[in-house]
Amino acid sequence: MNNDSKGRVKKCDGHLNSSFNNEQEEPSSIHTSSGIPVESVYNFSNANTMLPGIYPFTRGIHSSMYRSKLWSFRQYAGFGSAAETNTRLRYLLKEGQTALSIAFDLPTQIGYDSDHPLAVGEVGKVGVSIDSLADMELLFESIPLDKVSTSMTINAPAAILLCMYVAGAEKKGIRARDLSGTIQNDILKEYVARGTYIYPPKPSMRLTTNLITFCTNHLPKFHPISISGYHMREAGATAVQEIAFTFANAKAYIDEALKNGEDIDNVAARLSFFFSVDNEFFEEVAKFRAARRLWAKIIKEDYKASKSSNWKLRFHAQTAGSTLTSTEPENNVTRVSFQALAAVLGGTQSLHTNSKDEALALPSEGSVRTALRTQQIIANEIGVIKTADPLGGSYYIEYLTDEIEARVNEYLTKIAALGGAVEAIETGFIQQEINKAAFKSFKQAEEQKITPVGIGNNQIDKDVSLELHENNPLTEKFQLEQLIQLKQKRDNQLVHVCLANLKKACDNEQANLVPFIMEAVKAYCTVEEISTILRSVFGEYEKGDYLD
C-alpha cells in the first residue's frame, strides 16, 4: 500500500482514471462530510488486476461502481389478485423503487389454475394469482414496461409467464426488444431446496434453454435466467455451498445450451444470478468478491468466452428471510440494514430488503416502505457509495475472499467428478450436503445456547403491536369468477388448435417450445391448460429415495 510520510494512504495515479472511459461519467468531486476528498478506488498497487472493472472483477464489475450508477432498488411484491398487486407495485414506484420484482402464488408456480382442487385455500396467498394473459394485463396496468425493469420469480412455468409478459406489453404497443428484466427460470435448485418443480430434469432443462435461446433472439435486454443460490442458503447451505452449488447449476445450463448449438458469448451474456445476504457480515462481503472472481475465471478460462463484458458476474441480492424473528419484529429492521449494507459493500447490482413483519405475514404497506427506505438511506446518507470496494485491502476481507474461492473450487471439482450438477442432484449429493450443513448449524447453536436477540432470556416481556397485512378473503372467489368468464368469452376453437400445436412440438425434441407457448398465451390459454399439455408429454417429477 502506498503511504505518505504521515502514514496516510496515497491515491492511485492517472493510470486508474483511464479505466472510467467505458462507463458513465462519474461526479468530478466527491468528499466526506468533513471535506476530505474521496478517490474512486483505493489500492495496494497500480496493478490492473487489483482494480474494479478489470478482470477478474474481484473488486466490482464496474470501475466506478456506485459513483456512476446505483444498484436497482427492487422490492419483491405480490399477493391476492392482479389488481391488488398492481396497486402495491404503483405505490412502490411512487415511493422511489426503481425496478419491479413479482411474487406468484403457489398454484401459478406449479402450473395450476385457481379452480384446480389443489389450489383451494392457496389462491393469492404467497404471491399474485395469474391464470391467463388477462391477469397479466391487469397486473401491469398503467405501468410503463418499456421504462421499468421487471423481475419475475417463476421457474417450472417460466416460459408461460414470460410469454404472458411479452404478449401483454405488445398489446400496449411496447415491442419485445424494448423490455428489460429477469425471469428466474432456474429449475435445478427447485429439486434441491424449493420444491416448485413440475417436470423431470431433462425436459425441464429443455424448457430452460429454449427460453434462453428465445430471449437471445427476441428480447436482447432481458435475462432469461436468474440462477439462484438464495433458496439453497435459506434451506441451510453455507456461504461456500451457496456459491458452489449455484455455479455448478450455471455450468449445467451453459453445457446444455452449448450442446444445442448456442454460442458461449451469447449464452454468457444472458445469465444473471441471485444470492442471499445473511448475518455473517464480513463473510457475506467476501462471498460476493470471491464469486465475481470465480465466475470470471470460469467463463473466460474454462468456457473461452471472448467478450470481456461476458466475464462479469451480475447478481441480485436479497436479505435473509430465515434470520427474521416473529418475536420483537422491530429488531428485524436492524438485521436487514446490516445485511443490505453487506450486499452493497459486496457490489450487488440489485437489492431487495425484507420487511420487519415477514416472519408473521406478507409485508404491510408501512413495513415495505421502511424496507425500501433502508436501501435509500444506505445509498444517500452514510457515504459507502463514494468509493468502489471500500473494504478491499482489509486483511480479513482478503483472507476470507481467498478462502471462499478455494473452498468453492473444491466443491466444483467434486461435482464435476460426479458428472455435473444434474447428476449430483439426482444422486442426492447436493441435498445431503445442504442437510448436513443445516444440521451442523443447528447443533452448534443448541450446544452453545445461541439464540437470536429478542428471543429467550433476552426477550422483553412486552407485546409489540403490528398492523399486519391481511389477505382479501374474496380473492379466490373473484379469481374463479374471472376464470369462468374468460373461458366463455375467448375463441375456444383457437385454444384447441394452439394446444394441439404445442403438444406436437413437444414430441419433436429439436423444436423450441417458446413460440408455440406464445401462440397459446395470445389465444388466452391458461397456465394450467398449457402445463397440462407439457405434463402429458414430459410426465411429472417424483422425489428420489435419498430424501426419505
pLDDT of residue 544: 60
- Find the mean pLDDT for residues 161-185: 97
Domain stops at, among 446, 468, 485: 446
Residue 59 lies in a domain: no
Closest CA to 317 of 283, 280, 276, 358: 276
* Residues 313, 254 share a domain: yes
Confidence of residue 105 (pLDDT cuts 50, 70, 90): very high
Q: What is the pLDDT of residues 123-133, one digit of tens each?
A: 999 999 999 99
Confidence of residue 396 (pLDDT cuts 50, 70, 90): very high
Q: What is the pLDDT of residues 443-474, one digit of tens each?
A: 888 787 778 888 875 554 444 567 887 878 88
Q: What values do phi and psi take at 222, rounded to 5?
A: -110, 135
* Residues 502, 417 share a domain: no
Coil, strand, or helix at residue 72?
A: strand
Dihedral class, residue 499 (left if φ above 0, else alpha if ψ from -120 to 50, else beta): alpha
pLDDT of residue 38: 86
Nine-digit cell string for 340: 443490505
pLDDT of residue 442: 87
- Helix then strand then coil, in percent of the chain rounded to 5, is 50, 10, 40
pLDDT of residue 18: 28
pLDDT of residue 506: 97
Share of the chain above pLDDT 90, in %: 81
* Residues 307, 397 share a domain: yes
* Residues 526, 391 share a domain: no
* Residues 196, 93 share a domain: yes
Q: How many CB atoms lie within 10 A of CB 440?
A: 12
Residue 454 lies in a domain: no
Q: Given a cut of 90, is residue 435 above it in pLDDT?
A: yes
Alpha carbons within 13 A on the beta-carbon side of 51? 22
Residue 395 lies in a domain: yes
- Find the mean pLDDT for residues 86-110: 95
Question: Across the beta sheet with 72-77, what order do the strands follow?
Answer: 222-223, 181-183, 150-153, 99-103, 72-77, 350-352, 315-319, 271-277, 225-228
Alpha-carbon span 152 to 320, nearest angstrom: 19
Domain stops at, among 446, 478, 505: 446
Q: Given a cut of 60, is residue 332 above it in pLDDT?
A: yes
- Find the mean pLDDT for residues 250-264: 95
pLDDT of residue 447: 81
Confidence of residue 533 (pLDDT cuts 50, 70, 90): very high
465 vs 149, residue with greater confidence? 149
pLDDT of residue 35: 84
Structural contact between residues 156 and 122, judged by C-beta atoms closer than 8 angstroms: no
454 vs 66, residue with greater confidence? 66
Nine-digit cell string for 346: 459486496
Confidence of residue 487 (pLDDT cuts 50, 70, 90): very high
Residue 483 lies in a domain: no
pLDDT of residue 461: 46
Closest CA to 226 of 29, 72, 407, 428: 72
Share of the chain above pLDDT 70, in %: 91
- Find the mean pLDDT for residues 147-169: 97
Confidence of residue 11 (pLDDT cuts 50, 70, 90): very low
- Find the mean pLDDT for residues 538-542: 94
Domain stops at, among 428, 446, 464: 446
Residue 407 makes CB contacts below 8 A (sequence gap 6+) with: 240, 244
Residue 88's domain comprises 65-446
Nine-digit cell string for 389: 470496494
pLDDT of residue 17: 30
pLDDT of residue 296: 98
* Residues 393, 270 share a domain: yes
Closest CA to 363 of 393, 318, 317: 318
Q: What values do phi and psi take at 75, rounded to 5?
A: -80, 130
| Burial classification of residue 144, based on how many CB atoms lie within 10 Å of its CB (0-12 exposed, 13-18 middle, 19 or more buried) | exposed
* Residues 420, 530 share a domain: no
Length of the chain: 548
Contacts made by residues 114-117, CB under 8 angstroms, sequence distance 24+: 114/476, 114/479, 114/480, 114/483, 115/480, 115/483, 115/484, 116/528
Q: Given a cut of 60, is residue 160 above it in pLDDT?
A: yes
Structural contact between residues 198 and 156, judged by C-beta atoms closer than 8 angstroms: yes
* Residues 262, 181 share a domain: yes
Closest CA to 180 of 209, 132, 144: 144
pLDDT of residue 12: 40
Tell how far CA 43 is from the center of its chain. Answer: 31
* Residues 528, 429 share a domain: no
Nine-digit cell string for 250: 450455471
207 vs 545, residue with greater confidence? 207
256 vs 44, residue with greater confidence? 256
pLDDT of residue 465: 63
Residue 440 lies in a domain: yes
Tell me the pLDDT of the chain averaged across its residues. Answer: 90
Q: What is the pLDDT of residues 265-308, one digit of tens each?
A: 999 999 999 999 999 999 999 999 999 999 999 999 999 999 99
Q: What values do phi and psi take at 100, rounded to 5?
A: -105, 150
What is the total count of domains within the chain? 2
Residue 321 lies in a domain: yes
* Residues 319, 188 share a domain: yes
Structural contact between residues 374 and 337, judged by C-beta atoms closer than 8 angstroms: yes
Q: The whole model's pTM is what?
A: 0.89
Q: What is the pLDDT of residues 334-388, one digit of tens each?
A: 999 999 999 999 999 999 999 999 999 889 999 999 999 999 999 999 999 999 9
* Residues 419, 511 share a domain: no
Residue 77 makes CB contacts below 8 A (sequence gap 6+) with: 85, 88, 89, 92, 100, 101, 102, 103, 368
* Residues 508, 431 share a domain: no
Structural contact between residues 277 and 317, judged by C-beta atoms closer than 8 angstroms: yes
Alpha-carbon span 108 to 476, nearest angstrom: 13
Residue 13 lies in a domain: no
Structural contact between residues 516 and 505, judged by C-beta atoms closer than 8 angstroms: yes
Which CATH number fits the domain that encloses residue 148? 3.20.20.240
Q: 463: which DSSP letter?
A: P
Contacts made by residues 329-334, CB under 8 angstroms, sequence distance 24+: 329/356, 329/357, 329/359, 329/360, 329/464, 329/466, 330/356, 330/464, 331/452, 331/453, 331/454, 332/356, 332/357, 332/358, 332/359, 333/370, 333/374
Q: How many CB atoms lie within 10 A of CB 342?
A: 25
Residue 373 lies in a domain: yes
